Structure 1
């Protein structure tokens, strides 16, 4: 549900109501985990990011009246806004914060699970923060392959500032992730300043070309009969292995059973909670995760949160 209002300054704003199993502050903490984030800024408990909706580039500000009521404002804009633009902004915010998912069943199973009890208690209200754009989600997965998270953020910033666009407000630049169309036209040599491996450059260009040509779309992936078929559709693409595929299925496509079982962070989190010297084996992980059926994605996200 949303309302269109004007504040005391005449700025247009939207109100988005979230489920009671949502905490704006917990999600804000998660979004604040890297000081090198380049696609949004957080200032005074408010999120600022550029967004393209209905072929219009906007700057949005997201804050919270309380833990479960979001306010979206449009700094610098006082002119009336078309309903389809407002609806698209609301849809983006709801997808980004995963507000459509009913977390009650997950919390009920987690309270009885020896591995999930601690993270769901510590981070209650945290949502699987999404990456609504398919190319951005796959690119982030590719950038993060076989490197630590800190360097992945560095590569993302180089990619965004090298090939993305931005809007400016009050002397500050707000960047947009490069489009698949833009990256599809590049060659490996164009990536030289990014100091990224040749293979990653090739992977990014290849995926961008598939998306630009309409061969790879969210709709096609969502129409897969199950998560395994969707995973196979992605792993058939050069540069996308099971980890990257499941990451994209988690963060962009919202497949609840997506499970990056080979993820090092997942292993380290489970090792931490189990207080063991060695990381769990794949067989042990499969056994421990039996109770997570159709919630593997959220279980993974909460376990990651203990580390990141």
Structure 2
């Protein structure tokens, strides 16, 4: 079982009460906006929402915690451990706090983004509609790449179905207070598979091979989040990713956005982005690449958030 660790410094004010962690939130954060976004995921299997609270399993060192995440008021978020799953060490509880901090991208100052959005024909309406939304991410690299590969050239509903099949076939289940929670499969588990075993889930032959190849690269130490971040720039990290079979520019930029938190990541060929812009402009045709380049001129170093906010009109 993988624990969530990250060598980067993280700026998060949080209070450790052992059974409950309290994370301080930026002013530009809306629990309801982020909850609504998560609630829209069809057939999601890695978390669930009940009565305005989020429940999921989070690895913490050698332990596995089940948490309930809720709005604690006064610009705070409460992370409560269920059952007897609270990590025994402060380091383990810090790992959980760090995971939640990264999942909701709490370290990003959105004020410059909101300032530029005020004068942008597309982003002004997006920010007005979804103020306080964060780029809800995928902290684990293997999960982020896998989700990018699974989602290639299929609709979202079927992508979520494939993810559920993969998780429930090869992931780690844990039962707590009568509920079953799942962790995404470890790369070691997928690296040991034959492509045919993934194809039984109705995964294509190519996607099955790509997933196993990526898992093996991670297991062999040839691919890691730390290595990609050490590339220094988003462009350099993208160049490393696209050298991997099955990862093109779209998947690479998706990983840069959702996992590595590269602000300039921009999946410019994304169909959903094109449809969102078509919707906002009220046109019959999706924008050409040249039109999109022109429309995004003012998004410099905020392309990732601009894309995420525009996606929100559709997903």
TM-score computed with the length of structure 2 as normaliser: 0.94
SS at match of 2:223: coil
- Alpha-carbon offset, residue 153 of structure 1: 0.3
| Residues 121-175 of structure 1, C-alpha deviations (whole Å, 9 max, x = no match) | 1000000001000000000000000000010000000000010011101222100
Of 283, 295, 313, the residue aligned with 1:306 is 313
- Residue 212 (1) aligns with residue 224 (2): no
TM-score computed with the length of structure 1 as normaliser: 0.96
SS at match of 2:17: strand
Question: Take 1:158 and 1:79, find their aligned partners in 2: how far apart are those partners?
Answer: 28
Aligned match of 1:14: 21
Question: Do the aligned residues in 2 keep the contact of 1:22 with 1:67 (CA within 8 Å)?
Answer: no
Question: Take 1:274 and 1:242, find their aligned partners in 2: how far apart are those partners?
Answer: 26
- Alpha-carbon offset, residue 76 of structure 1: 0.6
Of 3, 23, 30, the residue aligned with 2:37 is 30
Aligned match of 2:58: 51
Q: How does 1:142-153 map to 2 (within 5 A)?
A: 142-153=149-160
Question: Take 2:85 and 2:140, find their aligned partners in 1: how far apart are those partners?
Answer: 27
- Residue 198 (1) aligns with residue 205 (2): yes
Question: Do the aligned residues in 2 keep the contact of 1:5 with 1:13 (CA within 8 Å)?
Answer: yes
SS at match of 1:252: helix
94-103 or 168-177: bigger deviation: 168-177
Question: Do the aligned residues in 2 keep the contact of 1:23 with 1:67 (CA within 8 Å)?
Answer: no
Question: Take 2:215 and 2:39, find their aligned partners in 1: how far apart are those partners?
Answer: 28
> Which consecutive residues of structure 1, in runs of 5 or more, have no partner in the other structure?
7-11
Aligned match of 2:299: 292
SS at match of 1:248: helix
Aligned match of 2:166: 159
- CA shift in 2, pair 1:290/1:67, >3 Å: farther
Q: Compute the RMSD of aligned alpha carbons.
A: 1.2
Question: Do the aligned residues in 1 keep the contact of 2:199 with 2:208 (CA within 8 Å)?
Answer: no
Aligned match of 2:267: 260
| Residues 19-59 of structure 1, C-alpha deviations (whole Å, 9 max, x = no match) | 00000110000000024100001111111111111121111
Question: Do the aligned residues in 2 keep the contact of 1:166 with 1:174 (CA within 8 Å)?
Answer: yes
45-54 or 235-244: bigger deviation: 45-54
Q: How does 1:1-308 map to 2 (within 5 A)?
A: 1-5=13-17, 12-66=19-73, 68-77=75-84, 81-308=88-315
Number of equivalences = 303
- Alpha-carbon offset, residue 67 of structure 1: 7.1
- Alpha-carbon offset, residue 107 of structure 1: 0.2
Question: Take 1:216 and 1:78, find their aligned partners in 2: how far apart are those partners?
Answer: 31
